[in-house]
């Protein structure tokens, strides 16, 4: 049985104690740390940029899973790579230069991910088959944490596994131990979770519950 990757989203962290929060995640068994970068244009929220990613990189040794919810992400790939991102994921809806952006990420020595909003079919990624390393299925509308899981994501995960069997399929949005079971059963490889981990009295246990879907 494969081990599910758990990537806690720091969007739910206490930013006044970010170093301590990130170290806690690593010590509690997180596989990656998910960094949600939002620009207030592609999505209706603002979060953080390269300096925060660079600061997190100094605190932990596990991979940084950077999700760019920004317009024209190609403008900032090199800066996020230099800041310490290991995976750089961007939305196909955010750029007209998808293939070029993937190549740019790879030229920086990083893994490239593609993501789609809930209303974008997973088949929209097929023109780029063989180019990317990860597909991120959004199970909420990107922009804010704490939203409810959209059941339509289940079919998209299954379809992604069929279309792209050799890439990591990740899901983000509304994940708790109950919805984790649903996405694991659908074949997901990596799970992003925020409040279900940061709001738990025992983060190690919360990570294991999500990893095992129970």
Catalytic residue IDs: 36, 172
Q: Are 171 and 192 a contacting pair, CB within 8 Å?
A: yes
C-alpha–C-alpha distance, residues 157 and 170, integer Å: 8
C-alpha–C-alpha distance, residues 153 and 118, integer Å: 7
Q: Are 15 and 51 a contacting pair, CB within 8 Å?
A: no
Q: Are 181 and 192 a contacting pair, CB within 8 Å?
A: no
- Name which of 158, 160, 164 is nearest 186 in CA terms: 158
Give every strand in the sheet of 33-38, ordered side by side.
5-8, 190-193, 168-172, 134-138, 111-116, 87-91, 64-69, 33-38
Angle at 120 (CA atoms; ends 161, 140), nearest 5 degrees: 85
Q: Are 180 and 199 a contacting pair, CB within 8 Å?
A: no
Q: Are 82 and 106 a contacting pair, CB within 8 Å?
A: no
């Amino acid at each position: 049985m494969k081990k599910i990757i758990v990537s806690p989203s720091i969007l739910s962290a206490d930013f006044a104690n970010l170093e301590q929060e990130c170290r806690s995640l690593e010590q509690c068994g997180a596989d990656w740390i998910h960094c949600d970068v939002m620009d207030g244009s592609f999505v209706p929220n603002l979060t953080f940029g390269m300096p925060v990613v660079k600061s997190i990189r100094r605190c932990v040794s596990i991979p940084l899973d950077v999700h760019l919810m920004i317009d024209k992400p190609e403008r900032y790939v090199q800066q996020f790579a230099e800041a310490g991102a290991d995976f750089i994921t961007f939305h196909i809806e955010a750029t007209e230069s998808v293939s070029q952006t993937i190549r740019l990420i790879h030229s920086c020595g990083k893994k490239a991910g593609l993501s789609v909003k809930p209303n974008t079919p997973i088949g929209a990624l097929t023109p780029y088959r063989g180019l990317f390393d990860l597909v991120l299925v959004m199970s909420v509308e990107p922009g804010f944490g704490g939203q409810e899981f959209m059941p339509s994501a289940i079919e998209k995960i299954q379809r992604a596994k069929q279309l792209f069997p050799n890439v990591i399929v990740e899901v983000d949005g509304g994940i708790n131990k109950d919805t984790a079971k649903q996405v694991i059963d659908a074949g997901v490889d990596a799970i992003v979770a925020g409040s279900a981990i940061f709001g738990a009295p025992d983060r190690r246990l919360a990570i294991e519950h999500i990893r095992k879907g129970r």
